[in-house]
Structure 1
Amino acid sequence: MTTMAEFFSGRSTETISRELLGKLLSYESPKGLVSGYIVEAEAYLGVADSAAHAYEGRRTKANDALYGAPGNIYIYTSRGYYAFDIAVQEKGEPQGILVRGIEPKDGLDIMMANRPKSGSELTNGPGKLMQAFGVNDLHWNNTMLDQSPFKIDLQDSREPLRIATSARIGVSKRGSQTDAPYRYFVAGNPYVSGMRKRDMDLETHGWVK
């Protein structure tokens, strides 16, 4: 059985991002368990990545969690919404992965009460999924996954039929990494942010059956 430490250890952030797809992200919220399978993730490669919060070694109180050990939670605000990121490299190497979308599994009623939307609009974006989870503060920022109510279940997972890549969404337009293909998603899954209706696989949602 693979542990989270083994899952993160000795591999590139890009590889970890791809392999997070289909893993179950859960949160034991004050209202009850909510969870969903990760369908979209973006890699941010730290000091050499012009689109990353830690570009050129930038370190502030706001992004300090990125410099933590692999599995450290980095929650931050963007355009008034909260986002869930995880540090994935050795302590002091500020590379992280932003979870951008999930396909709900547990606690659908709780999520819909937190965010009164139906279908893919419930969790097809980083701010949307955090709103659906009921996360509206930085309380768990800079906390290790295994010391928090968040969990990534490596055993309860689904297998994508195909993993697609693209440029990241909404990053600052600066430097050579702005359009780098570090966004990974389950092709055809309706819960991927910005997925066009004609590209959705409404039968399998892009999973191997």
Structure 2
Amino acid sequence: MPTYLTRSFYRRDVVKVARELLGHLLVHVNGRQRVSGLIVETEAYLGIPDKAAHTCNGRRTARNESMWRDGGHTYVYFTYGMHHCVNVVAGVEDEPVAVLLRALEPVDGMQAMYRRRPAAKCDTDLCSGPAKLAKALQIDRQLDRIDLVKSKRVFIERIRATPLQSQQVATGPRIGIAHAAEWTHKPLRFWLKNSTYISHK
């Protein structure tokens, strides 16, 4: 049986959660099909004060309601009329912070991933971006608000007993948020330094 990340893992500072999700396994089980990938790139979104967060200034809508739930739930949103993005809610209930999963290293179900993403040229292109990984793992709005601690369908499997060492992790500004004023350049993106599966260097 897989060992899930616990509620206490998610009920922490979102920046710490974003960094320490690296190296763990995102899994989607649909019937007999298991598809998964190691998390190799994330971004932290700090909620109410964060001008790049969907919950900036306390904005609460039907779309972002999942961000207001307890840590350990999914927040899946639809963007640009074509793409889904997968987030992991952190902190405690009514603290609307989340971690965007930006890239995975495919592990299980790669044939299924290629069927879903026929434009992918190679393994490193399958999940190297938020929209790519959502499509490869077939995660959409129907899987919004899933409890990752209890669900047998979507969960994050603990792979490492301890966090990665600092020299293994790189940090930098988040991608595609030029509108976020002073938040644009904050080092809230984390990735595995030696990974070839990330979305951007």
1:138 equivalenced with 2:105 (yes/no): no
**CA offset at residue 31 of structure 1?**
6.5
Structure 2 partner of 1:194? 200
Maintained 8 Å contact 1:86/1:97: yes
1:129 equivalenced with 2:99 (yes/no): no
1:164 equivalenced with 2:166 (yes/no): no
Counterparts of 1:164-183 in structure 2 under 5 Å? 164-183=170-189
Structure 1 partner of 2:34? 33
Matches of 1:169 and 1:81, distance apart in 2:
16
Gaps of 5+ in 2: none
1:120 equivalenced with 2:124 (yes/no): yes
Structure 2 partner of 1:201? none
- Identical positions, percent: 32
The RMSD of aligned alpha carbons is 2.0
Maintained 8 Å contact 2:146/2:154: no
Name which of structure 1's ranges 144-153 and 52-61 shifts more when overlaid on structure 2. Answer: 144-153
**CA offset at residue 41 of structure 1?**
0.5
TM score, norm. by length of structure 2: 0.89
TM score, norm. by length of structure 1: 0.85
Q: Deviations over 1:90-109 (max 9, x none)?
A: 10000000000000111111
SS at match of 1:35: strand
Q: Deviations over 1:66-116 (max 9, x none)?
A: 000111110001222101001111100000000000001111111111112
Matches of 2:48 and 2:85, distance apart in 1:
20
Counterparts of 1:1-209 in structure 2 under 5 Å? 3-9=5-11, 11-30=12-31, 32-79=33-80, 80-116=82-118, 117=120, 118-135=122-139, 137-145=140-148, 146-147=150-151, 149-155=153-159, 159=164, 162-195=168-201
Matches of 1:107 and 1:159, distance apart in 2:
25
Query: How many residues in Structure 1 have an aligned counterpart in Structure 2?
Result: 193
Matches of 2:32 and 2:110, distance apart in 1:
12
Task: Name which structure has the greater RCO, CA cutoff 8 Å, separation 6+.
Answer: 2
Name which of structure 1's ranges 49-58 and 174-183 shifts more when overlaid on structure 2. Answer: 174-183
Kindly tell me: are residues 43 and 126 of structure 1, through their superposed partners in 2, closer, same or farther at Cα, counting changes over 3 Å? Answer: same
Maintained 8 Å contact 1:29/1:133: no
Matches of 1:179 and 1:45, distance apart in 2:
14
Name which of structure 1's ranges 161-170 and 41-50 shifts more when overlaid on structure 2. Answer: 161-170
Matches of 1:147 and 1:153, distance apart in 2:
11
Kindly tell me: are residues 149 and 188 of structure 1, through their superposed partners in 2, closer, same or farther at Cα, counting changes over 3 Å? Answer: same
Matches of 1:169 and 1:2, distance apart in 2:
29
Gaps of 5+ in 1: 196-209
Q: Deviations over 1:90-144 (max 9, x none)?
A: 1000000000000011111111111121221111001001111123x31111221
